[in-house]
Amino acid sequence: MDISRIRALRGPNLWTRQTAIEAIVHCPPDERSLSALPGFEVALRERFPQLGRWPRPASDLSLANVLKLVALALQAQAGCPVSFSRCTETVVQGTYQVVVEYTEEAVGREALKAAEQLIAVVRGQCDEAFDVQAVIARLREIDEDVRLGPSTGSIVNAAVARGIPFRRLTQGSLVQLGWGAHQRRIWAAEVDTTSAVSESIAQDKDLTKNLLRAAGVPVPLGRPVDSAEEAWAVAQYVGLPVVVKPRDGNQGKGVTVNIVSREHLELAYRAAVEYGQPMVEKYLPGNDYRLLVVGDRLVAAARRDPPQVTGDGVHTVAELVEAVNADPQRGDGHATSLTRMRIDEIALARLQIQGHTPDTVPGKGQRVVLRNNANLSTGGTATDVTDDVHPEVAARAVAAARMVGLDVCGVDVVCETVLTPLEDQSGGIVEVNAAPGLRMHLSPSYGKGRAVGEAIIDHLFAPSQNGRIPVVAVTGTNGKTTTARLIAHLLHTQGLRVGMTNTDGVYVNGRQTDSGDCAGPRSARNVLMHPEVDAAVFETARGGVLREGLGFDRCQVAVVTNIGSGDHLGLNYITTVEDIAVLKRVVIQNVAPTGYGVLNAADPHCVRMAEVCTGKVIFFCSDAHNPVLATHRAQGRRAVWVEGEHIVATQGERRHEVALADIPMTMNGRVGFQVDNAMAALAAAWGLGIPWARIRQGLATFQSDAASVPGRFNLMSLRGATVIADYGHNPDAMRALVAAADAMPAQRRLVVISGAGDRRDEDIREQTRILGAAFDEVILYEDACQRGRTEGEVTGLLRQGLEGATRTRRIDTIQGEFVAIDAALDRLQPGDLCLVLIDQVEAALRYLRERCKPAPTTTA
């Protein structure tokens, strides 16, 4: 068994809406059925007893099937919530596409690698030792290391529950919630509206205390110090016991409380100074509480108890700590609900005060405290007390958060009880924390968890908001780029700032931000990350969907212009038109329930996609009598078609018309494929709810020239001849261009063409077969588009297609695109028509503009 390629599908894809690992697996004949491998299953299950039952008889399973089952099971055993896997044999016998769902990409890749290694070990092809339980432990460790922590995860889960999309911007806790102009960002439990000033104030405990005191919030006496001697002097002034902590600390690091001696204070000073300038405060007796404030309300409260053990009269303190740390809920970081206890210098000092050492055997029921601060990050526990908080206590916590300026604030309170006001019991607020940990509120040691993630999401997004902007996905064989650009123009006419991706680049509000073929998911994600985008239009090419899936989870409108006879057949195991249709329909399968799929009723492959559309369907077709369109109309559903000199859109009794004469790109309806593009864009705009006045305005002002839609039926003139530049490169495009050219009178017709070398031989030949019946002279050229073909191979195939041509009388073969263009332009006479099928779009158009001038924009 050999794995030749592994891809991470990071969005909805050909196989599933979930993220998944896809691998190409090659199996020789003896690995294509487990019946040919006696003893394999028994040996495999001995090593991996948790492996579930086979979904089919062993005789029907290849090692590729086993690979995906083992990879999925390893992740499941590591605690990952995965369930989808698939193994499909390609057209190449013994070659399989294996797909396995993942929740964390690193875990998915490692699980696939481990599954491959396990199979090799079982087959005796590898002498390496393989411990399945160790592998599962490693996968669990990777998962805990890379997945979002509990605080960030709770917020993201709350967002997902409300339908708010998210994107992790770093390997850490920086997360984008929503898209474009509607997005918000969080960093753990800190939100984007919290200023750096507020965060800095919260980090400076002395400054915070002064501000709170000015606001009438009770705080303990104390101040920063620069030496142990000064610390002792302040302790004497405020009165023992005291607290020593870093002025700019967090997570309880370097904090020591209830200090009653100079020796203990000096130890505490040394611990605090490692994290910054220490400060000394009066110790407030009572319990340690954490109150969580979101916006202007208290949403959760917990009593925090310091790390401690209870003696049994048998085991030492160290052994009792080890037993407590064996709890699977305790870990070393923030991935678990509790943190392991540590016996460090602070713990030793605290034990000494109690007359203990780690080797002491406490009596049965004796309580031994390891440190006085009760932070969960140092091993403490939490008890939910949200329902017990007195309104006056809650008011002081909210006042503290507002005074510092924190949207999400952890307020640390020390008092005997939260049932009565702080002022009545000498309690006080000892700290406020930006980006507070949420573990104690989500999964307290005792009491019920609180929906704090939901509270933060409700603070960021109003009840009616989901953080989304309108997203339109456009795919098909031909017409994608023009349709995408026209839809973007219609949205711009509505006054929206539009982000657009296509095969020419990335555009934000009319400015190009990237160049090249940007019709893939990475460019789409970049647009959705831009804060100045109100709506997005994505040309969605097959290559990006195959490589990585979609760049979004769902769209408001998906457009499939056509499938026809397909394109790019024979690549990536896509060998038939049906295969292409299944791939292209991914956008239709991911339409929002309130959205629309826009489909070409004249294309049977598009029509079948209506069955899997998750929203509603708008059919378009130039033939008003098309049976699919007619049935759709009769059912009172949205439909777009051509009637006489107008494009008509109806839904039940409602009817809208746009004159073809008012859509310049259609040339009064003579350019059929542009009529199709206009109908598709109109239907998409209708599905987005753009007012009809704006739709008409946008259709009337859209220019299909080399500047607006480069390489898409760009008209120019030279010495009274018409020159058309187009990037068409498949048989369907040739048919559409021929039909358009036939509608334009000409004395003589010339065409300049090359062919993309990565297309099938028959597809290259078919292009010139079509052109040979419509053009008098054909100039073949070779340049940058050979894509693996040998010199002369592409032009040879094109020339074969011209054998027996009914109209072509002259055929020339020229090396170089610009040389071929020159040869054609030099021949032109008034009344001629020349179609130039360009390869290097930008350079060729620039060259043509130097020699030609734009054609008149009239539609006559």
Per-residue 3-state assignment (H helix, E strand, C coil) for 455-471 = HHHHHHCCCCCCCCCCE
203: CATH: 3.30.470.20
Decide if 534 is inside a domain.
Answer: yes
What pLDDT shows up at residue 858? Answer: 47
* pLDDT level of residue 791 (50, 70, 90 thresholds): confident
Decide if 364 is inside a domain.
Answer: yes
Which residue type does 551 have?
Answer: G
Measure the CA–CA gap between 514 and 507, rounded to whole angstroms: 7
Measure the CA–CA gap between 674 and 671, rounded to whole angstroms: 5
Per-residue 3-state assignment (H helix, E strand, C coil) for 81-122 = CCCCEEEEECCCCCEEEEEEECCCHHHHHHHHHHHHHHHHHH
* pLDDT level of residue 422 (50, 70, 90 thresholds): very high
**What percent of the chain clears pLDDT 90, i.e. is strictly above it?**
86
Measure the CA–CA gap between 333 and 340, rounded to whole angstroms: 9
Measure the CA–CA gap between 852 and 829, rounded to whole angstroms: 13
Measure the CA–CA gap between 10 and 385, rounded to whole angstroms: 41
**What percent of the chain clears pLDDT 70, i.e. is strictly above it?**
98
**Residue 277 token pair:** 């300038």
* pLDDT level of residue 189 (50, 70, 90 thresholds): very high
CA 695 vs. chain centroid, Å, equals 31
Q: Quick one: 41 and 116 in the same domain?
A: yes
Among 30-39, 82-91, 410-419, 568-577, the range scoring the smallest mean pLDDT is 568-577
731: CATH: 3.90.190.20
Question: Are the C-beta atoms of residues 293 and 411 closer than 8 Å to each other?
Answer: yes
Residue 375: name the closest of 496, 529, 253, 475 by CA.
Answer: 253
Angle in degrees, CA 666, 671, 677, rounded to 5: 60
Decide if 263 is inside a domain.
Answer: no
**Residue 236 token pair:** 């004497």
630: CATH: 3.40.1190.10
Domain count, the chain: 5
- State the CB neighbour count (10 A cutoff) for residue 643: 12
User: What are the backbone angles phi and psi of residue 426, rounded to the nearest 5°?
Assistant: 60, 30
Residue 294 reports pLDDT greater than 60: yes
Measure the CA–CA gap between 737 and 771, rounded to whole angstroms: 9
Q: Quick one: 428 and 512 in the same domain?
A: no
Residue keyed to tokens 């705080």? 219
Q: What is the mean pLDDT of residues 101-115?
A: 98
What pLDDT shows up at residue 595? Answer: 98
Measure the CA–CA gap between 70 and 399, rounded to whole angstroms: 55
Q: Quick one: 94 and 180 in the same domain?
A: no
Q: What is the mean pLDDT of residues 457-473?
A: 97
Decide if 753 is inside a domain.
Answer: yes
Decide if 252 is inside a domain.
Answer: no
What pLDDT shows up at residue 334? Answer: 64
Measure the CA–CA gap between 823 and 712, rounded to whole angstroms: 22
- State the CB neighbour count (10 A cutoff) for residue 570: 15
Measure the CA–CA gap between 170 and 167, rounded to whole angstroms: 9
Measure the CA–CA gap between 820 and 756, rounded to whole angstroms: 16
Q: Quick one: 519 and 653 in the same domain?
A: yes
Is the preceding omega at residue 81 within 30 degrees of 0, hence cis? no
Q: pLDDT, tens digit, for every residue of 476-488?
A: 999 999 999 999 9
Q: Where among 440, 462, 484 does a domain terminate?
A: 462
Measure the CA–CA gap between 482 and 728, rounded to whole angstroms: 12
Q: Quick one: 757 and 690 in the same domain?
A: no
Burial of 529 (0-12, 13-18, 19+ CB in 10 A): middle
Q: Where among 146, 162, 189 does a domain terminate?
A: 146
Residue 436 reports pLDDT greater than 90: yes
Decide if 193 is inside a domain.
Answer: yes
What pLDDT shows up at residue 251? Answer: 66
Q: Beta strand pairing status for 639-643 and 616-621?
A: parallel
Q: pLDDT, tens digit, for every residue of 568-624?
A: 777 788 889 999 999 999 999 999 999 999 999 999 999 999 999 999 999 999 999
Among 331-335, 479-483, 789-793, the range scoring the smallest mean pLDDT is 331-335
The Cα diameter of the chain in Å comes to: 110
Q: Quick one: 15 and 75 in the same domain?
A: yes
Radius of gyration for the alpha carbons in the chain, expressed in angstroms and rounded:
35
Residue 380 reports pLDDT greater than 50: yes
Crossing angle of helices 731-742 and 672-688, in 10° steps, is 110
Q: Quick one: 349 and 497 in the same domain?
A: no
CA 337 vs. chain centroid, Å, equals 27
Domain range for 582: 471-701
- State the CB neighbour count (10 A cutoff) for residue 649: 23
Q: Quick one: 635 and 498 in the same domain?
A: yes
The helices-and-strands tally (H runs, E runs) of the chain is 28, 39
Inter-CA distances, 504 with 483, 493, 710, Å? 13, 21, 8
Residue 860 reports pLDDT greater than 50: no
Residue 625 reports pLDDT greater than 90: yes
Measure the CA–CA gap between 700 and 681, rounded to whole angstroms: 13
Residue 310 reports pLDDT greater than 70: yes
Decide if 218 is inside a domain.
Answer: no
Q: Where among 343, 371, 399 does a domain terminate?
A: 371
Q: Quick one: 75 and 115 in the same domain?
A: yes
Question: Are the C-beta atoms of residues 679 and 620 closer than 8 Å to each other?
Answer: yes
Decide if 118 is inside a domain.
Answer: yes
Residue 820: name the closest of 838, 807, 832 by CA.
Answer: 838
Read off the DSSP letter of residue 181.
Answer: G
What pLDDT shows up at residue 129? Answer: 80
Q: Quick one: 681 and 563 in the same domain?
A: yes
**Residue 110 token pair:** 């490692």
Residue 515 reports pLDDT greater than 80: yes
**Residue 239 token pair:** 């009165």
Q: Quick one: 495 and 393 in the same domain?
A: no
What pLDDT shows up at residue 854? Answer: 81
Q: What is the mean pLDDT of residues 405-425?
A: 96
Mean pLDDT of the chain: 94
Measure the CA–CA gap between 661 and 292, rounded to whole angstroms: 63
Q: Quick one: 545 and 624 in the same domain?
A: yes
| Cα dihedral value 358, 362, 367, 370, nearest 10 | 0
Residue 784 reports pLDDT greater than 80: no
Residue 853 reports pLDDT greater than 90: no
Beta bridge partners of 724: 715, 835
* pLDDT level of residue 715 (50, 70, 90 thresholds): very high
Inter-CA distances, 791 with 797, 814, 824, Å? 12, 12, 22
Question: Are the C-beta atoms of residues 546 and 523 closer than 8 Å to each other?
Answer: no
What pLDDT shows up at residue 859? Answer: 42
Which residue type does 783 have?
Answer: D
Measure the CA–CA gap between 376 and 228, rounded to whole angstroms: 28
